Amino acid sequence: MTLAADQRSFMPALRRFRRSHEFWLLVVVIVFCLGLGLATDSFLTLQNLFDLLTSNAFVGILAAGLLVVLVAGGIDISFTATASVAQYVALSLALSYGLGWFAIFAIAGAVGVVCGLINAIFITKLRISSIIVSIATLNIFYGLLIFFSGGKYITSLPKYFRDGVWWFEYDDAAGVPYALNLQILVLAIVFLCTWLLLNRTNVGRQIYAMGGNKDAAQRLGFQVFRLNCLVYGYLGLIAGVASLVQAQLAQSVTPTVLVGKELDVLAAVVLGGASLAGGVGTVLGTILGVALLAILQNGLVLVGVSSYWSQLFVGLIILVAVSITAWSERRRRQSKAIN
Amino acid sequence: MSADTRTARNVSLLTRIGRGGPVTVLSLVLLALLLIFGLLLGDQLFSVGALQSMAFQLPELGILSLAMMVALLSGGLNLSIIATANLCALTMAYVLTHHVPGAEGFMWGAWQVMAVLAGIAVATAIGLLNGAVIAYLGVSPILATLGTMTMCKGLSIGLTRGNVISGFPDPIVFLGNGVIGGVPVAMIIFLALCAPVAVLLNKSPFGHKIYMIGSNEKATRYSGVDTRRVTLKVYVLSSLLAVAAALVMMARFNSANASYGESYLLVTILAAVLGGVDPFGGFGKVGGLMMALILLQVISSAFNLLNFSPFLTVAIWGALIIGVTALAVLREGLGGLRR
């Protein structure tokens, strides 16, 4: 579906885009933005958009990783536990041994990859459904982390880490500074890498093919185990990187704060059009899915709705979106059957 | 769900291990564990107090697991059970703490029945919503129930602002804390629910249809079963079991809140799968689930007596399901590993 065919001309591609899930999502996001821009003075300000991007970077980064697993036809909900473990290990070691940027990202990424590979091995070798494996590993990783760390916070992070990244500073008329911070930088890199992986590499095509029909992919000679190691390892890597982004924003490490967010990330990816059956999903859709939920929650607060109610609206949006998608899918199939 | 365990689809997890089925296998594991814990703890584990406290703790997870199980058997999943239970508990709590006619007498008793009926009404509405979206719109059960979960929780948080409603009449509190002939009332409620659910699943036409839909929905539809109607009923049944769990939970804590018991959500899936329920539907018995629950409870109580962290218990639960499956693969011989 999303295998972008060679673009002989611009118009057919545009026409195809107009029928896609992403197009309607984009329309909804733009309508939301315009509506909020008209209804409030504060939504379409650089300040608000900057904060919105920074505070949702963690969910966005994880969403990109989860997208790859969903496209491959699997599911993984252990990534929040993976992130907690990676964060804790990397920053504890950084404090003990005075490590720098490169080392902490390498350690967090490595811990994430190991956790991801554990998932991949269990899923492929034991042939249990990926949802069961990842529920089990979520509990194992998280349980062991809390057991060994005692649930203690780390608040005194290294100075360079607390300062983060602050490139290309720009001050607006009121003197408020903006810059490219760690959150936005990593978010952009991760989305770019995921797009390249899925759309511009041979492996990316194989991931779509395996998600579309695993048995056929296996008969064609695809190495299902290797592909699984790649996708779950990739999500693990992303979870490790995302965990540092979150720790930098929170300015502390709390082992208990990340677990429980896995279904929020799943909701964002699914809103973006990825299918749990595999083989379907795009990076653009995922970006829009994350954006829609972020803008919705931000907008409700700006309009003056108490933040206690925001979850109700998020639930409604998810339910309506998945219903519309399923309904239109069903009608398309029926009209095809008639013709 | 995902496609990666199609190969294991026709055989439920535990029946692969031994010829005796899940109950035999889990009994053996349980005996081994009792032996180890017995040696470590002596009589502590088997004292009347310890057994009674186990019987107090088991029903909450037990009833919630039953609610998850009926959805799993039909090839679905119900992520909204905890949110449903909490919303129903809050509804019942609201009725019980407002406009109570007197402190005793007929009207007072009738009002409590009214409260329970209100909870059942809310549960039925949520069940119908889940069922309708899944059966008639064709949304995947994970996504539909993820939406209703978020919505129900959002409604609970919005209405209570995250606060607790507490202080219920004695008869309600008795349901969670009372003892009849040494057996906790909550345990009696759990057993009283297990029996009819087991009969419904194994002896009634409705039960057979659930198993058939879980095995092969299309074939069931073509053989003249109104699969949509059955699916709708499955989610209503799941919701009704959740309201029973709500009653036990609120009675035990003498309070209700929007986020009680959330850590149970994924554990209910583990318990059901450990008890021999096929995560893709079609296979599984109430007896297996009960054995799995006893096993989990024994581990949890023994660890508690050994002063281990409860988080370690959760990790062991996760490891247990992977270990049991690994056993199954090893028994099948190395042929299974070479795939």
Of B6, B144, B339, the CB nearest to A322: B144
Q: Which residue of B4, B86, B161 to mutate against A (max A Cβ within 10 Å)? A: B4
| A140 with B1: Cβ contact below 8 A | no
pLDDT score of A234 more than 50? yes
- Is position B169 within any domain? yes
* Average pLDDT value for residue range B215-228: 92
Q: Which residue of A70, A312, A320 to mutate against B (max B Cβ within 10 Å)? A: A312
Alpha-helical runs (H) found in chain B: 22-41, 48-73, 81-97, 106-135, 141-160, 170-177, 185-203, 205-215, 217-222, 227-253, 264-274, 286-305, 310-331, 334-338
Chain centroid offset of residue A53 CA: 13
Q: Is-contact B2 A279, C-beta < 8 A? A: no
pLDDT score of A255 more than 60? yes
Q: Judge whether B33 is closer than 8 Å to chain A, CB to CB.
A: no
Q: How many residues does chain B have?
A: 339
* Average pLDDT value for residue range B5-19: 47
Q: Give the pLDDT confidence score for residue B13 in this predicted structure.
A: 52
Q: Give the pLDDT confidence score for residue B3 in this predicted structure.
A: 42
- Is position B194 within any domain? yes
Which range among A54-68, A79-93, A323-337 shows the weakest confidence by mean pLDDT?
A323-337
Q: Give the pLDDT confidence score for residue B328 in this predicted structure.
A: 67
* Average pLDDT value for residue range B53-67: 92
Q: Give the pLDDT confidence score for residue B47 in this predicted structure.
A: 82
Alpha carbon distance, N-terminus to C-terminus of chain A: 21
Q: Give the pLDDT confidence score for residue A260 in this predicted structure.
A: 84
CA B230 – CA B201 distance, rounded (Å): 12
Which DSSP string corresponds to A139-191? HHHHHHHHHHHTT--B----HHHHH--EEEEEE-TT--EEEEEHHHHHHHHHH
- Is position B278 within any domain? yes
Range of the domain at B42: 23-332
Residue A276 Cα, gap to closest chain B Cα (Å): 6
- Is position B13 within any domain? no
Q: Give the pLDDT confidence score for residue A99 in this predicted structure.
A: 87
Residue A52 Cα, gap to closest chain B Cα (Å): 21
Cα dihedral sign for A104, A108, A111, A114?
negative
As a dihedral over the C-alpha atoms of residue A72, residue A78, residue A83, residue A89, rounded to 10 degrees, the angle is -120
* Average pLDDT value for residue range A189-218: 92
The Cβ of residue B104 has, within 10 Å, a number of other Cβ atoms equal to 10
Q: Taking CA atoms, what residue in A is nearest to B142?
A: A276
Q: Judge whether B292 is closer than 8 Å to chain A, CB to CB.
A: no
Tell me how many domains chain B contains: 1
Q: Give the pLDDT confidence score for residue A304 in this predicted structure.
A: 86
Secondary element (H or E) of residue B180 = strand B179-180
Q: Is-contact B254 B39, C-beta < 8 A? A: no
Q: Is-contact B289 B190, C-beta < 8 A? A: no
Amino acid at B21: G
Q: Give the pLDDT confidence score for residue B27 in this predicted structure.
A: 80
Check which CATH number belongs to the domain holding B316 and give it. Answer: 1.10.3470
- pLDDT confidence tier of residue A1, bands split at 50, 70 and 90: very low
Q: Which residue of A139, A152, A226, A309 to mutate against B (max B Cβ within 10 Å)? A: A139
Which range among A110-114, A230-234, B46-50, B171-175 shows the weakest confidence by mean pLDDT?
B46-50
Secondary element (H or E) of residue B255 = strand B255-256
Q: Give the pLDDT confidence score for residue B18 in this predicted structure.
A: 47
Q: What is the CATH number of domain A16-338?
A: 1.10.3470
pLDDT score of A51 more than 60? yes
Residue B323 Cα, gap to closest chain A Cα (Å): 10
Q: Give the pLDDT confidence score for residue A9 in this predicted structure.
A: 61
Cα dihedral sign for B127, B131, B137, B140?
positive
- pLDDT confidence tier of residue A8, bands split at 50, 70 and 90: low
**Which pair of tokens denotes residue A110?**
């490595």
pLDDT score of A172 more than 80? no
CA A192 – CA A186 distance, rounded (Å): 10
* A148-B300-B39 Cα angle (round to 5): 95
- pLDDT confidence tier of residue A138, bands split at 50, 70 and 90: very high
Q: Give the pLDDT confidence score for residue A2 in this predicted structure.
A: 44
- Is position B18 within any domain? no
Which range among A242-251, A318-327, B116-125 shows the weakest confidence by mean pLDDT?
A318-327
- pLDDT confidence tier of residue B289, bands split at 50, 70 and 90: very high
Q: Which of A143, A146, A145 is nearest to A135 (CA)?
A: A143
- pLDDT confidence tier of residue B4, bands split at 50, 70 and 90: very low
- pLDDT confidence tier of residue A7, bands split at 50, 70 and 90: very low
Which range among A131-140, B68-77, B94-103, B109-118 shows the weakest confidence by mean pLDDT?
B94-103
Which range among A157-171, B137-151, B210-224 shows the weakest confidence by mean pLDDT?
A157-171
Question: Which residues touch A308 (CB under 8 Å, ≥6 apart)?
Answer: B157, B158, B161, B162
pLDDT score of A160 more than 50? yes
Which range among A108-122, B222-236, B315-329 shows the weakest confidence by mean pLDDT?
B315-329
Q: Taking CA atoms, what residue in B is nearest to A76?
A: B2
- Is position B9 within any domain? no
Residue A108 Cα, gap to closest chain B Cα (Å): 21
Chain centroid offset of residue A77 CA: 12
* Average pLDDT value for residue range B109-113: 87
Boundaries of every domain in chain A: 16-338
| B262 with A260: Cβ contact below 8 A | yes
Check residue B16 and report its DSSP letter: G
- Is position B10 within any domain? no
| A263 with B79: Cβ contact below 8 A | yes
- pLDDT confidence tier of residue B281, bands split at 50, 70 and 90: confident
Q: Judge whether A166 is closer than 8 Å to chain B, CB to CB.
A: no
**CB < 8 Å from A in window 297-326 of B:** 308-309, 311-319, 321-322, 325-326
- Is position B12 within any domain? no
Residue A157 Cα, gap to closest chain B Cα (Å): 26
